[in-house]
């Protein structure tokens, strides 16, 4: 397996975050939240650096990253799109909204557009069931969606 070195700047960010938790292995989930927040995603070399810092096998870090859906090993788009597929959104037509985003952007779930601008993910309930169906772009919530609103929403970011 080829080994990718991580640059010093990123390594320092990782070390800082681990240090905030005194390099405690029991806080690895908090550390992963912090690192993903800072670097955007958790590729293998980042996981290795974290494991080394905490003094635990990288398999344990990898096991956690792949277990929890919040963590991602793929970079997300500049504007990550999350479609809520909770029950309330489902009965109000969330799958049609998802299909339309996929069609307009030409990418599937978990993928990023070639220009790196958008990525599509599905999430469980965001707890805004009163506005179903709901999608989030970055932190912004779009509610009461219909398929023909999708193109207009994407244009806001172009």
Partner 1 sequence: MATYNKHILVCGGSCCTSGNSAQIADNFKSTLAEKNLSNDVQVIQTGCFGLCDQGPVVKIMPDNTIYTHVKPNDVRRIVEEHIEGGKKVEDLLYVNPITGERVEDNKEPNKFHKKQIRIALRNCGVIDPENIKDYIAHDGYMALAKCLTEYTPEQVIEVVSASGLSGRGGAGFPTGKKWASSARAKADQKYVVCNADEGDPGAFMDRSILEGDPNSVLEAMAICGYAIGADKGLIYIRAEYPLAIERLKIAISQAEEMGLLGDNIMNSGFNFHIELRYGAGAFVCGEATALIHSMEGKRGEPTFKPPRTSEKGYNLKPTNVNNVETYANVPIIITKGAEWFSSIGTANSKGTKVFALAGKVNNVGLIEVPMGTTLREIIYEIGGGIKDNKKFKAVQTGGPSGGCLTERHLDIPIDYKSLTQAGSMMGSGGMVIMDESSCMVSIAKFYLDFTVPESCGKCTPCRIGNKRLYEMLDKITKGNGTMEDLEHLRNLSVVIKDTALCGLGQSSPNPILSTLDNFWDEYVEHVQDKKCRAGACKDLVQYEINPAVCVGCTACSRNCPVEAIKGELKKPHQIDNSICIKCGTCITKCKFNAIRIK
Judged by the rule CB under 8 A, the positions of this chain that interact with partner 1 are 24-30, 32-33, 63-64, 67-71, 85-93, 96, 99-100, 103-104, 123-132, 134, 141, 143, 146-148, 150-151
Q: Which is nearer to partner 1, 116 or 156 (CB)?
A: 156
Query: Is the CB of 4 or the CB of 38 nearer to partner 1?
Result: 38
Closest CB 3 distance from partner 1, rounded Å = 25
Q: Return the number of the residue (49 or 137) whose C-beta is nearest partner 1.
A: 137
Our CB check for partner 1 shows the closer of 4 and 91 to be: 91
Q: How far is the CB of 12 from partner 1 (least distance, A)?
A: 23
- The number of CA neighbours under 13 Å toward the Cβ of 120 is 20
CB of 23 to partner 1, least distance (A): 12
């Amino acid at each position: 397996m080829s080994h990718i070195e991580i640059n010093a700047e990123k390594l320092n960010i990782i070390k800082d975050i681990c240090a905030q938790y005194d390099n405690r292995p029991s806080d690895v989930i908090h550390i992963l939240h912090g690192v993903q927040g800072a670097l955007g995603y958790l590729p293998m070399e980042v996981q290795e650096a974290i494991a080394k810092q905490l003094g635990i096998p990288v398999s344990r870090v990898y096991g956690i990253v792949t277990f929890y859906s919040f963590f991602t090993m793929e970079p997300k788009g500049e504007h990550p799109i999350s479609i809520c597929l909770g029950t309330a959104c489902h009965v109000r037509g969330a799958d049609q909204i998802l299909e339309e985003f996929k069609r307009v952007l030409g990418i599937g779930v978990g993928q990023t557009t070639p220009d790196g601008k958008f990525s599509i993910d599905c999430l469980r309930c965001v707890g805004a069931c009163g506005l179903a169906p709901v999608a989030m772009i970055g932190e912004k919530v779009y509610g009461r969606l219909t398929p023909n609103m999708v193109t207009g929403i994407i244009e806001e970011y172009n």
